[in-house]
Amino acid sequence: MLRIEDLRVTVDGREVLKGVNLELGASEIALLLGPNGSGKSSLIQTLLGNPKYRIKSGRILLDGRDITDLPANERAALGLGAVFQMPPKLRGIRLRDLLRRLAERSGADYQSLMKMAEEVGAAHLLDRDLHVGFSGGEVKRAEVLLLAAQRPRVALLDEPDSGVDLDSLPVLGKSIRSVISQDGDRAQERRSALVVTHTGHIAKYLQATRAFIMVDGVIKCYGDAQAILRDVEKYGFEGCLNCIFAEVRRD
């Protein structure tokens, strides 16, 4: 569904992605793991079409179509959607208004969104300016709502669990699951998700099938999500590197 080929990207002249290859299948939920500064967020921003991230070589294919040079809004129209790790504050733009406009476009049911807002504890944010004065956890809840309003076919979630307290994680995880999986009214559609997570806390709610580990701008390792999570927890990312040196694949 989403295919990334040998992607090399610079930001302000600094190379942040050094030849990334990754494939996300239809209906697949995959985790993207890796130490701080390894390029996970850069990959998400590049996939979304952030003009600050300059593509030096490589391609991005969505359903076989080359979207490498498309502007962000056209990528969104083709089905890409995101949860930003650190979204900008939008003064004067209320969360409720944005949800309504997105729902009008995507056909998402506005009332269901309001219900989800209640469930994830974001109802009090609806009439506030988006992300202005939001806590870390509130930012994530609002972002998940916006993602739901977009009804993406390929969801890119950049640390949806960071800043979220452990008590709120199950309900947020369940909402994310409902947005990115084939449950509910759009069961016939095939959706996929790539989820960046630093902690892996969110992973158990998402039933991810695969995990990728990114180190220093390249995918160093991939395999069964549960197995990789277990190893990372046990040995850390260093352990993953050793596994690469041992040339052991974890498929």
- List interacting residues with other proteins (CB under 8 A): 48-52, 71-73, 75-77, 80-82, 84, 87-88, 90-93, 98, 102, 105-106, 129, 146, 150
**93 versus 123: smaller Cβ distance to other proteins:** 93
For residues 49 and 154, give the distance between their C-alpha atoms in angstroms, rounded to a whole number: 14
**15 versus 97: smaller Cβ distance to other proteins:** 97
Which residues does 29 contact at the CB level (< 8 Å), separation at least 6?
180, 181, 192, 193, 195, 206, 207, 208, 209
**76 versus 228: smaller Cβ distance to other proteins:** 76
Our CA angle for 147, 117, 205, nearest 5°, is 65
User: Are 85 and 98 spatial neighbours (Cβ–Cβ below 8 Å)?
Assistant: no
**160 versus 223: smaller Cβ distance to other proteins:** 160
Please state the closest distance from residue 227 (CB atom) to other proteins, in A: 33
For residues 14 and 116, give the distance between their C-alpha atoms in angstroms, rounded to a whole number: 40
Please state the closest distance from residue 125 (CB atom) to other proteins, in A: 16
User: Are 53 and 216 spatial neighbours (Cβ–Cβ below 8 Å)?
Assistant: no
